[in-house]
Amino acid sequence: MDSITHLAIGACMGEAFAGKKLGKKAMLWGAIAHSIPDIDFVSSFWMTTPSALLAHRGFTHSFVFCAIAGTLFALLAWRWHRQTNIPFWKWALFFGTVIFLHVFIDAFNNYGVGWFEPFSHCRITFNAIYVADPLFSIWPGIACIALIFISAGTPPRKKWWQMGLGLSGLYLVYCLFNKNQADTDLKSILQKQHISYTRYFTTPAPMQNLLWFVVAGNNKGYYVGFHSLLDSKKIIAFQYFPRNDSLLNTVRSHRDVQQLIRFSKQFYTVEKWRDSLVFNDLRFGQVMGWENPKGKFVFHYFLQSPQSNKMVVQRGRLEGWNWRSVQSFWKRIRGN
C-alpha cells in the first residue's frame, strides 16, 4: 500500500496497544514501525533500476526482517518507557505484529513481496487490491486524524481505532471475494472464447475493486483485456500482444534484462519503438486500456536507454486523464 496508509494503520495499532499508557506517543511508535519495511527505497540511490526493482519489497518485507526489526524496536521502546511496566515480550509481540501486518498487506498488491528472503527469491502476490485504493485507506486515515485531535486517555479513542482497523480489514475481505469472482469469470470466459493459455492473472484497475485488468497466454504472447464484475455479458474484448522473445536475442545475456524477466514473472512482451527496444511488464496494466485496447503498458523499460527509466513502475499511469476519461472509466466499471 501507499506510505500514508501504512502510517495511518500503524498509528491506529499503536493506539490500540499502548494508548492508555503512552498517550499519543504510542501512535508515533506504531506509525514508524509499520512504515519501516519501506526503508528499502534508499536502494534506488545507488542501484540500477532493475536491481532496485528486485530490492524493493525484498528482504525488508521478509519474515526474517519482521523478527529482527521487531526485536530491535522492542528493545528500544522497552528501555525508553520502563516506567510503563510493559514487559519486553509484549513490546516484541506488538512490533513484530505491526511490521508483519505491513508485509502481509503489501502481498495483496501486484508488485509482490519477498516473504522468504534471503532463503528464497520467490515473490508472493495475491493481486487482490490496487496499491492505492481510497476505500481501503480512508478508514484508518480518518481514524488517525480523529485520534490526533481527541484527548489522550478518553473513551472515544477506542471506537476510532477500532473503526479504522476494522473497516479496512472488512474491505480487504471484500476484495478477496471480488478476486475469486474475477478469476472464476476469467477462466469461464477463456474457455467460452476458446483461448488457450498456460498462465494468467487478474488485478484491479486503478483505485477501485470492480474493474479488473486480465491477462492470459503463454510464451508466444498474451491476451489482454478488462472485465467488470458488473458486466452483464460474460465476454472480454481481448487484444493480443505477441511476446516477441526473439527481439531479446542480442541482449538476453545482459544482467538488467535477466533481472527484468525475473521481476516480471514471465508476464512480459518486447516491442520496438522506432529504434528503441522496449520491455513491457504486463502486471502493472495499460494506460487507459479500457479506452484504447492497444494502449501502451504502464511499465515500459527502454533497454538501450537505462537513464530514461525513472519511475518505471507507474510511468504514465495518469497520462491523458481528464474529465472525459474519468467518465469513460466509470462507465466501464458499471459494466458492458
147 in any annotated domain: yes
User: Which string of b and e fits 205-222 if b means at least 16 CB within 10 Å?
Assistant: bbebbbbbbbbbbeeeeb
Same domain, 151 and 197: no
- Closest among 296, 326, 175, 314 to 224, alpha carbons compared: 296
185 in any annotated domain: no
pLDDT digits (tens, 9 = 90+) for 89-100: 999 999 999 999
315, pLDDT greater than 90? no
Instruction: Report how far apart, in Å, the C-alpha atoms of 141 and of each of 134, 137, 321 are.
Output: 10, 6, 26
44 in any annotated domain: yes
Same domain, 145 and 228: no
313, pLDDT greater than 90? no
129 in any annotated domain: yes
Look at residues 174, 208, 223 and tell me which one is the last residue of a structural domain: 174
- Closest among 241, 233, 333, 240 to 291, alpha carbons compared: 333
181 in any annotated domain: no
Same domain, 121 and 257: no
Percentage of residues of the chain with pLDDT beyond 70: 98
pTM score? 0.92
Same domain, 9 and 154: yes
C-alpha cell at 233: 455479458
Domain range spanning residue 53? 3-174
Look at residues 143, 174, 205 and tell me which one is the last residue of a structural domain: 174
Same domain, 22 and 161: yes
273 in any annotated domain: yes
pLDDT digits (tens, 9 = 90+) for 165-181: 999 999 999 999 999 99
Distance CA 11, CA 145 (A): 10
Task: Give pLDDT, residue 47.
Answer: 87
Which residues lie closer than 8 Å to 18 by C-beta, 6 or more apart? 26, 29, 84, 86, 94
pLDDT digits (tens, 9 = 90+) for 214-263: 999 999 999 999 999 999 998 999 999 999 999 999 899 999 999 999 99
Distance CA 130, CA 28 (A): 26
Mean pLDDT of the 23-30 span: 96
Task: Give pLDDT, residue 311.
Answer: 67
Same domain, 216 and 148: no
256 in any annotated domain: yes
Query: What is the tally of structural domains in the chain?
Result: 2
Task: Give pLDDT, residue 11.
Answer: 97
240 in any annotated domain: yes
- Closest among 313, 265, 20, 258 to 158, alpha carbons compared: 20
Look at residues 106, 140, 174 and tell me which one is the last residue of a structural domain: 174
